[in-house]
A and B are shown apart, each in its own frame.
Chain A
Amino acid sequence: MAFFGLFSKEKKEKLNQGLEKTKTSLFSKISKALIGKSTVDDSFLDELEEILISSDVGIGTTLKVIERIQQRVARDKYINTSDLHTLLRNEMVNLMEENAIQPSLSKDFTSIGKPYVIMVVGVNGVGKTTTIGKLANLFRNEGKKVVLGAGDTFRAAAVEQLRIWSERSGVGFIAHGMNTDPAAVAFDAVKKGVEEGADVVIIDTAGRLHTKVNLMNELSKIKRVVAKIIPEAPHEVLLVLDASTGQNAFEQARQFTAVTDVNALALTKLDGTAKGGVVIGIADQFKIPVKYIGVGEGIDDLQLFNKTEFIDSLFKS
């Protein structure tokens, strides 16, 4: 309470103005009683906990964030609402920060020889094929030459689905039909990419639950086969995660990484009400950057991931 005297009237007014702006967010609910205290009050932390967990951030990561906030507040004291907002956002951005460089489409190709091979993996129904369709379009719009490999030879009509996407964006397409060896498809797609001087080869794979050992081993095989043509390939193993998936996404990341060294994530279906907060914990724990987000069914509805925007979106109702 003694700290209250340290605040000038002016400062308080400023603070009130600040409160106005964020009225609809979590921060409006932080009582002014917070000011000048060296701890954040429980009701704020409860609120924060609820918001984070409700966004699928998960208990572990949530507690980590809360702990860091408490530490910072204890150290810095005199914190006002907008400071707290910034602090919170920074702490969360930091969780994802270790993931090095922000992805840039063109950067990927200059340092690495042609073609840049992307292998797309994930469980059933997350939107792998759709993401590939959009990715192909994205690269095509940048003037890149693209080849798609229809490696989902299992799900009914998956090859057909990818073929339609390849036609929409006018890119190359390799398929062996249904129930063929996906590794052979991948091999031929990369081979075609090399022969025709393509910039990017994207290989689709069948959705598989990470608990199916044989199917997971099949992925390693596809990866090995591709490396026979280009030793560094696939340069990118893109794990596609559905934003509405809960804590199971952790296991998905763990298992797919174990067999294919996943080095990029795509988060799909963010145009719904699901927040996809689970990727924060995943990015933190596995040090894998989120590269793309899917925000709709249209061919242009794929965006580069932006950490700050993403984290801010967690706090919008």
Chain B
Amino acid sequence: MFESLSSKLEKAIKTLKGQGRITDINVAETVKEIRKALIDADVNYKIAKQFTDNVKAKAMGEDVINSISPGQLMVKIVNDELVAHLGGDKQDINLSGSPAIILMSGLQGSGKTTFSGKLAGYLKSKGLTVMLAACDVYRPAAIEQLRVVAEQIKVPVHLDTETKDPVKIANDAVQKAKEIGIKVLIIDTAGRLAVDTEMMNEISRLKSSLNPSEILFVVDAMTGQDAVNTAKAFNDVLNFDGVVLTKMDGDTRGGAALSIKSVVNKPIKFIGTGEKLDAIDLFYPQRMAQRILGMGDIVTLVERAQNIYDKEEAERLHKKLTQDKFDFEDFLNQIQQIKKMGNIKDLVSMIPGVGKAIKDLDISDDAFKGIEAIIRSMTPQERKNPDIINGSRKKRIAAGSGTELPQVNQLLKQFEDMRKMMRTMNKMQGSGKGMRMPLGR
């Protein structure tokens, strides 16, 4: 345990001395990893690259605090940028007009019909009167599907199996909605490919004929790289108002959300979270960012570190280090800092790559107890000046801390090694150029 502590300390010192700020070099590897993570999450290749480059440029020169690495901080910054980017200008759906008309659009199988039902149920639960209109005249039984859905949520539905003209069906539905005083009319449409000109013209006609207050683009959260093309093509034709991400109850990382947001800059308004008709939720950028990045553990680690970080303490420590005055008092403080960050096992397992390896390992939170006990059994004088600790003092310390002499010796030896290492580093820093001293300003 001592070893891991000293390596932690070493890392902290490294942070203080050489990597106090985000630079091109010290985050290069991390940026690559982040980019990979984004691509693995189905964020478009170009957008992943753009996004990480932009964030990196923004993060350059940012101060890195004690006990985290520049790379870890970088992950946190990317996460925050993701949240900001995905969230952006939050907008509710526009329900102006009487009736307010919501037009659904999207590829085949994205979940338009199911979502139409969910949205109708959602609005109904808000006390609005809602009607559905079945304008998918192509897929076998699509009209029947919407009828059944409408029945399940108990809202009226307009359908017409006599005509193959969706524009006529939709306009009839508007008429009917007006007659019976419906507040919101949701138009379900056929799934279509963006390259299908004829079908894209059809939905364009629907738009110009209905003048809907809200056009929603429904997209499967599992969509891959092609999300950018599809979203752009639909937006070019429809200039839609919002995006709906469906099938979010699976384990997809949902990078399409970032791709789409980047390409069309339209808010993501709803997500579909299950097959039941009440499985509809508002969009939370925070959750989505963590899901896409898949590095939530590091983000949490950095947040915790930032919370407990004490700048003055770090500067004091740094001064001591450079003056070769690091003593057992400081060491004890460091232990307290690390302990404040939470459960040791949690902490260690948050470091990428380590998590799995120590899953079954039992790391007790008492790991520091022996060390702490030994240090606490030293007199203040001994702590400040370990060199005075002789044989009889050692015996007293061992007895006082309830440990054995060899343990005290080991601690003293390792502490001495650590100091030697620091001295060497100080010397290196004195002679080497280009080493930053961020906190020595």
**Interface residues in chain A, defined as those with a beta carbon under 8 Å from any beta carbon in chain B:** 50, 53-56, 58-59, 123-127, 130, 133, 154-158, 160-161, 163-165, 178, 209-212, 242-249, 251, 269, 271-275, 278, 297
Contact = CB atoms under 8 A, between A and B. Distances in A.
Contacts of B223: 244-246
Contact of B39 (A59, A125, A161, A248): A59
Interface stretch (B251-259, B304-312, B367-375): B251-259
A124 B36 contact: no
B401 interface: no
Given A56-B224, A156-B149, A157-B142, A247 B41 contact: yes
A50 B45 CA distance: 7
B139 interface: yes
14 contacts: A59-B36, A125-B111, A127-B109, A154-B275, A156-B152, A157-B142, A161-B145, A212-B249, A272-B107, A272-B226, A272-B230, A273-B230, A274-B224, A274-B229
B195 A248 contact: no
A53 B39 contact: yes
Given A123-B250, A246-B224, 18 more contacts: A54-B44, A59-B36, A123-B247, A126-B109, A157-B144, A160-B144, A161-B141, A161-B144, A178-B148, A242-B220, A246-B223, A246-B252, A248-B250, A271-B195, A273-B194, A273-B226, A274-B224, A274-B225
B249 A157 contact: no
B224 A244 contact: yes
Contacts of B194: 272-273
A248 B252 CA distance: 5
For A55, A130, A274, the residue with the greatest tally of chain B CB atoms inside 10 Å of its CB is: A274
Nearest to B148: A156
B40 A247 contact: yes
A281 to B, nearest CB: 12
A278 B224 contact: yes
A161 B113 CA distance: 14
B249 A244 contact: no
Contacts of B434: none
B138 interface: yes
Interface residues of B, number: 48
Contacts of A251: 251-252
B224 A124 contact: no
A244 B149 contact: no
A53 B41 CA distance: 12
B111 A124 contact: yes
B120 to A, nearest CB: 13
A246 B225 CA distance: 7
A248 B222 contact: yes
Chain B contact residues: over half helix, strand or loop, or mixed? Answer: loop
B220 to A, nearest CB: 6
A283 to B, nearest CB: 16
A124 B111 CA distance: 8
B42 interface: yes
Contacts of B149: 156
B230 A297 contact: no
Contacts of A163: 141
A278 B39 CA distance: 13
Interface in B237-264: 247, 249-253, 255-256
A54 B152 CA distance: 41
Nearest to A126: B109
Interface in B270-322: 275
A158 B249 CA distance: 21
A59 B255 CA distance: 14
Nearest to B224: A246
Given A272-B194, A272-B230, A59 B40 contact: yes
B113 to A, nearest CB: 8
A99 B71 CA distance: 42
A233 to B, nearest CB: 27
A54 B225 CA distance: 5
B140 A160 contact: yes
Contacts of B141: 157-158, 160-161, 163-164
B257 to A, nearest CB: 12
Contacts of A127: 108-109
Nearest to A49: B45
B140 to A, nearest CB: 4
Contacts of A274: 224-226, 229-230
B389 interface: no
A249 B252 CA distance: 9
B108 A125 contact: yes
Interface string B412-440: 00000000000000000000000000000
B40 A248 contact: no
A244 B145 contact: no
A54 B45 contact: yes
Contacts of A155: 145, 275
Nearest to B249: A209
A181 B41 CA distance: 36
Nearest to B49: A50
Interface string B97-123: 000000000011111010000000000
Contacts of B227: 244, 246
Nearest to A273: B229
A262 B264 CA distance: 38
A127 B191 CA distance: 11
Given A246-B255, A271-B193, A272-B193, A123 B145 contact: no
Contact of A244 (B40, B107, B250): B107
For A124, A133, A251, A269, the residue with the greatest tally of chain B CB atoms inside 10 Å of its CB is: A124
A218 B194 CA distance: 35
A182 to B, nearest CB: 15
A209 B250 contact: yes
A228 to B, nearest CB: 29
A124 B109 contact: yes
A158 B152 CA distance: 15
The 3 closest A-B pairs by CB, nearest first: A246-B224, A125-B109, A246-B42
For A156, A211, A246, A273, the residue with the greatest tally of chain B CB atoms inside 10 Å of its CB is: A246
Contact of A157 (B40, B108, B148, B224): B148
A124 B42 contact: no
For B41, B42, B110, B111, the residue with the greatest tally of chain A CB atoms inside 10 Å of its CB is: B42
B221 to A, nearest CB: 8
